[in-house]
Structure 1
């Protein structure tokens, strides 16, 4: 037994050193999220955490925000979020405005089209001072990220024009 004691002490010491180091190692999920968020940063987006819609319970999810070209005179501060169930009174199927604060009507058709282009795990569309964002659970990974980037690139410019306060009417025709 006496010859085993030093070996047990050495193994215990190694375990005490390696254990916490392995615990700090990022999980596969953490690495995937970091990769998605790095892609967003490389595309010029901001990623912020935001509370889940009330219908989804407690917790947070990332909001991927595409910056406005010209943030002056935009009517922001509205959120279109996923609801528990579809209803005729909602803005669009299962989607409705948070706190009854809606986007200008001029943007509604664009928003409906954008909703159809988002990944299945999208939770909301946020119009902030910084830009137009999509709250997303990030479960659909790279495929969802591609859909999200495409939707924001396609719809953000037109939605930005539609929510601009005091925009001058088109006089070209």
Structure 2
């Protein structure tokens, strides 16, 4: 038994060193999300983690923001959130405004189209000073990200122009 004691001690020491190292190694899901978010960054999309809409339980999901080309004079601060049930009083199917604050009406046409263009596991469409964002649970991988990215690239400029406040007309002084 005494000849096995050094082997057991060395094995225990190796386990003590390798255990925490292996525990810190990212799992397959973390690696996939890091790659997805890295691709988004390369395409100019900002990613932030935010709380899910109240109707969709507790937790968080990533919001992929496509930046505005000119952030001046935009009517922002509104969000469309997925609801649990579809209702005719909602904006579109099971999508409705957060806190009753709606986007300017000229943007509604493009928002209806955007709702049908984004991934099925999207949770919200958000307009902030960063840009137009879609909260997404990040399932489906690269193909679904490509769908999201192209929808944001197509509709953000259109929505941006419809939510821009027009400059006040200055009357000449007499």
Shorter-chain TM range is over 0.9
Query: Any unmatched runs of 5+ in structure 1?
Result: 169-173
CA apart distance, 1:141: 1.1
Q: Report the equivalent of 2:161.
A: 161
Give TM-score, length-normalised by structure 2.
Answer: 0.94
Question: What is the match of residue 33 of structure 2?
Answer: 33
Return structure 1 stretches of 4+ with deviation > 3 angstroms: none
- Map of 1:11 onto structure 2: 11
* Superimposed CA distance per residue, residues 3-57 of structure 1 (whole angstroms, 9 cap, x where no aligned partner): 1111110000000000000000001000000011001100011111111011111
The two structures have a TM-score, normalised by structure 1, of 0.95
Give, in angstroms, the shift of residue 143 of structure 1: 1.4
Secondary structure of the corresponding residue to residue 41 of structure 1: helix
Aligned to 1:44: 44
CA contact (8 A) 1:121 1:140 kept: no
Distance 2:48 2:8 in 1: 48
1:66 paired residue number: 66
Structure 2 residue runs of 5 or longer lacking an equivalent are: 169-174
Aligned counterparts of 1:102 and 1:147: Cα–Cα separation in 2: 25
CA–CA separation in structure 1 for the residues paired with 2:136 and 2:64: 8
Q: Please give the alpha-carbon distance, in whole angstroms, between the structure 2 residues aligned to 1:140 and 1:98.
A: 26
User: What's the counterpart of residue 132 of structure 1?
Assistant: 132
Q: Paired residue for 1:93?
A: 93
Secondary structure of the 2:65 match is strand
Deviation of 1:59 (Å): 1.1
Describe how 1:98-113 pairs up with structure 2 within 5 A: 98-113=98-113
Q: Matched residue pairs, number?
A: 168
**Contact map agreement 1:74 1:160 (CA 8 A) in 2:** yes
The RMSD of aligned alpha carbons is: 1.0
State the 1:167 CA deviation: 6.1
